[in-house]
């Protein structure tokens, strides 16, 4: 991800690190964000680091794009990929008010027209696709293209935003 970010935004300074060991000074940021990833972090260690680097009055924002069951193409893609999906740790079970306050969340829906290639590329960026053997990846791509059944499709993407203020 760091290499892709560097290509897309070459003038942005990047630091090697992890959610559990953020290589930045105490209280150096207003907000810490994570997109599509927080459920893979070691919850308590990551929250402690986020708290450490966040200024008083700051907080965090976490986002996930979801393939909604209401959208037949995205739901179909989810069903295809679930054959190789591992269950991430339920981070909310480990979330304790203290470092940050209560969680607030909102969901936003957006209609998008995406090509079949873009939908396959999106699927290819997910854990179940990446961790599958090459033959299964090819099968996933073929089945997603069949599901779309056209050069492009209109889909409804649901984005979950979770926020909490620093305590």
Quick: pLDDT tens for 70-114: 899 999 999 999 877 666 657 777 776 689 999 999 999 999 999
HSE-CB of 80 using CA atoms within 13 angstroms: 26
pLDDT value, residue 27: 97
Across the chain, mean pLDDT equals 91
Note down the domain range covering 132.
2-165
Is residue 135 exposed (0-12), middle (13-18) or buried (19+ Cβ within 10 Å)? exposed
**How many independent structural domains does the chain possess?**
1
Q: Return the CATH number at 111.
A: 3.40.50.150
pLDDT digits (tens, 9 = 90+) for 113-156: 999 999 999 999 888 899 899 999 999 999 999 999 999 999 99
Type and span of the H or E element at 8: helix 2-8
């Amino acid at each position: 991800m760091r290499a892709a970010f560097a290509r897309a935004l070459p003038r942005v300074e990047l630091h090697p690190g992890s959610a559990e060991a953020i290589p930045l000074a105490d209280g150096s940021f207003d907000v810490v964000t994570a997109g599509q990833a927080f459920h893979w972090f070691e919850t308590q260690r990551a929250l402690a680091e986020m708290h450490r680097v966040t200024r008083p009055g700051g907080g965090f924002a976490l986002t996930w794009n979801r393939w909604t069951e209401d959208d037949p193409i995205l739901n179909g893609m989810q069903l295809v990929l679930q054959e190789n999906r591992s269950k991430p740790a339920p981070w909310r079970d480990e979330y304790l008010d203290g470092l940050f306050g209560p969680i607030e969340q909102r969901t936003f829906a957006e209609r998008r027209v995406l090509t079949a290639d873009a939908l396959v590329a999106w699927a290819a960026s997910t854990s179940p696709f990446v961790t599958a053997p090459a033959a299964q990846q090819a099968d996933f791509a073929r089945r997603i293209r069949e599901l779309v059944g056209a050069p492009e499709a209109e889909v409804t993407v649901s984005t979950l935003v979770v926020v909490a203020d620093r305590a």
